[in-house]
Amino acid sequence: MTYQGACHCGAVSFAVDDTPKWLTRCNCSACRRFGALWFHTHPVNFTLTAAKDATIAYVWGDKLLAFQSCRSCGCTTHFSPLEASGGMAVNMNMADPQSIKDIPIRHFDGADTWAFTD
The single-letter DSSP state of residue 54 is: S
pLDDT tens digits for 90-110? 999 999 999 999 999 999 999
To the nearest whole number, what is the mean pLDDT of the chain? 96
Q: What share of the chain is helix, strand, coil (3-state, %, to 5)?
A: 10, 45, 45
Task: List Cβ neighbours of 62 (8 Å cut-off, separation of 6 or more).
Answer: none
Task: Give the residue among 73, 100, 72, 101 at the shortest CA–CA distance from 16.
Answer: 100
pLDDT at 102: 98
Domains and CATH numbers, the chain: 2-116 (2.170.150.70)
pLDDT at 52: 94
pLDDT average per 10 residues of sequence, the chain (118 residues): 97 97 97 96 96 96 93 97 87 98 98 95
31 SS3 class: helix
3-class DSSP state of 10: coil
Q: How many residues does the chain have?
A: 118
Backbone angles phi, psi at 7, to 5 degrees: -70, 175
